Structure 1
Amino acid sequence: MKLGTIRLNGKPTVIARLDDNTAVAVPVHDMEDLITAGNAGLDKAATAIAAAREGKAAVIALDGNTDWMAPNPKASKILGCAVNNNNLNKNAFKPMKSPMFFTKARSALTGHNKPIVILPRHGRSIPEPEPVVVFSKLAKDVPEDRIMDHVFGYTLTNDITASGIKFSEDSIALNMDPKFTAPHHFAWREKFGAEDNYLYFVYHSRSKAADTFAAMGPWLTTKDEIANPNNLMMRGYVDGEMYCEDSTANYHFSVERVLAEANIWFTMEPGDCVHCGTASKGTEKFPKGNIGTFLADYKNTEVEVEGLGRLFNTIDNRK
């Protein structure tokens, strides 16, 4: 089953997909209401679909005028797993010990067909196509072998990253007096001689969580439709041309490992979102993949994930 959220007559409305061009409204307050209701919520969606197909419920046309929102616009947490792709991680000085996370603000969410806004100070900004796991119920310290029991389904995101501002305004290198350093400060990187006492800090809020930097949707696909989240094709496009094609099989940490690590540090609540790793592998025309694709050079960008659909966004380059 595929579910979404649109504004219908100005009101956020949960819909269930009938086909590529039509849907039906589901009688719930919002997506979190449906998710927390469990099987009863899914039953409401199934009943609405059946009623629409029998001509007993209004059918909603999905077209260029549809006002899409993110599938769950009220997610309390949006987590991303950084560098979780072997194509990127192969360049690491030392392999990652565990999944590394950053957060996106709820205000960063935007929907299908909506603009992604690149401000001048964002500088070079790149797309990152990836699937998103949506939690069904509270999860805290749930082990890896049971974490999927807490999953409602999957959507997809374009995890926009403004590397320009990240490295020009949100990074700092401090040449510290050795008396203020400790071995763990340098264990993760190569140290260039005894005089190299630089500590490096990078802050991700503006580069990752700015408004419109969490495009999601259009659909939230229920868990039963995806047999193996660790073997999904991911593709990214700019102006209709594919710049990367990759698979979740190329993740450094599995989806289950990412989710289990997340719920050690954060209490995951119904509707919370975790995107588990970017597609990175380039194509013949775009050999650098996503890291060499700068959104300001294009008019639109798309994300496609096997079984989950295709997300389209225009690019509003504020010069």
Structure 2
Amino acid sequence: MKLASFIVDNRKTIGFALEDGKVVKLTDAFEAAGLNQTDAPDCMLTLIEAGSSLQSSIDSAAKAAAESNVKRYLKDEVSWLQPVLRPSKIVAVACNNKAITNRAKFYTDNPMFFNKAPSSLIGHEQPIEIRPDYGLTHPEAELAVVIGRRCKSLSLEEAMGAVFGYTIMNDITSVTLKSDDTIVFPNPGVTPPPPGWEHGEKHLTYHARSKSTDTFGPCGPWIVTKDEIPNPDALSVKVYMGDELCTEDNTGNLNYSVARVLHHLTKYMTLEAGDIVHIGTASKGKYQLRELDFQKWDGPCSIEIEGIGRLSNPIKRIEI
């Protein structure tokens, strides 16, 4: 099923996105299924945290939404929100694509991570705001995993059991802000230096501005529950600027699978229900990432991931 957060009739709510493109409020679906409306969660995080205790009711409501005469809203009648309004954390996997790491001088044996601020999130069709001082700013299309329960130290075999579902993340990145927040040292600063670093440089880069600036986290348009995506490690990923197909890749080209990422991450960090882990950037296609500069391209910027749908956001340039 597809679960979405949105505003309709001037109220924030959650509900089902149907195959015909229409939307049904969860409370209306509960009523159509003969369930008590007051038992329907009013936000996505509450629904996720309820876990199996609410599963049969959600299944009945989803069936009623698809088959009954319940009130359906056209997609233009709702304002889309990010599926999880404020997850406790967003964790990203750095450089998790063979097209990138094949060019690296050194690469690690395990996934590397950074955090992205939840305040950067916006929903489907909400504008990406771009200021001149952001400089070169480009999209990064990524499969995002929504965590279903509190978890720590997951084994490889347990990892997929912690997944609630999947959505799309556009991990927008300002190359200029990243460069501005980089310190360069003449050598690694360790004795003895790693092989090959004898005459190298060490770059310390901090991603707070380049990754977490407001509106740099388009996410959505909904969550597809994990039962509908049996293999997240073999999904096509496409990026469009306007109507032009610019990137065409597959999650099979990532270095680390979803299970491997969650296994390694939870060795060090507790994940909570509703947390988002985006898995790695789609990179193959007609253009390199840095050529898709939001300072130059008109939107919308759209990302399609097989089995999930299409996340689309206009680009709004702001003068300061």
The TM-score with structure 2 as length reference comes to 0.90
**How far apart are 1:240 and its partner, in Å?**
1.4
* CA distance in structure 2 between the partners assigned to 1:143 and 1:207 by the alignment: 32
Query: 2:318: which partner in 1?
Result: 318
Q: Which amino acid aligns with 1:31?
A: M
Deviates more, 1:200-209 or 1:30-39: 30-39
**How far apart are 1:66 and its partner, in Å?**
2.1
Matched, 1:142 2:147: no
* CA distance in structure 2 between the partners assigned to 1:87 and 1:175 by the alignment: 27
* CA distance in structure 2 between the partners assigned to 1:25 and 1:46 by the alignment: 14
* CA distance in structure 1 between the partners assigned to 2:295 and 2:23 by the alignment: 34
Q: Which amino acid aligns with 1:110?
A: I
Aligned with residue 262 of structure 1, among 254, 262, 265: 265
* CA distance in structure 1 between the partners assigned to 2:80 and 2:13 by the alignment: 10
Matched, 1:104 2:116: yes
Deviation digits for residues 158-213 of structure 1 (CA, Å, limit 9, x no counterpart): 1101011111x20111347x9xx3248x43x84353xx5x4321000000011111
**How far apart are 1:245 and its partner, in Å?**
0.5
CA gap 1:223/1:54 in 2 versus in 1, 3 angstroms: closer
Query: 1:22: which partner in 2?
Result: 22
* CA distance in structure 1 between the partners assigned to 2:126 and 2:196 by the alignment: 42
Is the CA contact 1:81–1:100 (under 8 Å) kept in the aligned structure 2? Answer: yes
Matched, 1:6 2:6: yes
Aligned with residue 277 of structure 2, among 268, 274, 278: 274
Aligned with residue 90 of structure 2, among 78, 101, 104: 78
Q: Which amino acid aligns with 1:207?
A: S
Helix, strand or coil for the counterpart of 1:37? helix
User: Mind listing any 5+ residue stretches in structure 2 that lack a counterpart?
Assistant: 27-39
Query: 1:128: which partner in 2?
Result: 140
**How far apart are 1:55 and its partner, in Å?**
4.1
What is the percentage of aligned positions where both structures have the same residue? 36
Helix, strand or coil for the counterpart of 1:269? coil
* CA distance in structure 2 between the partners assigned to 1:253 and 1:50 by the alignment: 35
* CA distance in structure 2 between the partners assigned to 1:222 and 1:54 by the alignment: 19
Query: 1:308: which partner in 2?
Result: 308
Query: 1:294: which partner in 2?
Result: 293
Helix, strand or coil for the counterpart of 1:208? helix
Is the CA contact 2:111–2:256 (under 8 Å) kept in the aligned structure 1? Answer: yes
Aligned pair count? Answer: 305
Q: How does 1:1-319 map to 2 (within 5 A)?
A: 1-26=1-26, 27-53=40-66, 55=68, 57-63=70-76, 65-167=77-179, 169-175=180-186, 181-183=189-191, 186-187=193-194, 190-191=196-197, 193=199, 198-283=201-286, 286=287, 288=288, 290-300=289-299, 301-319=301-319
Is the CA contact 1:24–1:48 (under 8 Å) kept in the aligned structure 2? Answer: no
* CA distance in structure 1 between the partners assigned to 2:307 and 2:19 by the alignment: 14
* CA distance in structure 2 between the partners assigned to 1:228 and 1:52 by the alignment: 26
Query: 2:33: which partner in 1?
Result: none
Is the CA contact 2:82–2:220 (under 8 Å) kept in the aligned structure 1? Answer: yes
**How far apart are 1:56 and its partner, in Å?**
5.4
* CA distance in structure 2 between the partners assigned to 1:49 and 1:102 by the alignment: 36
**How far apart are 1:43 and its partner, in Å?**
3.1
Helix, strand or coil for the counterpart of 2:230? coil
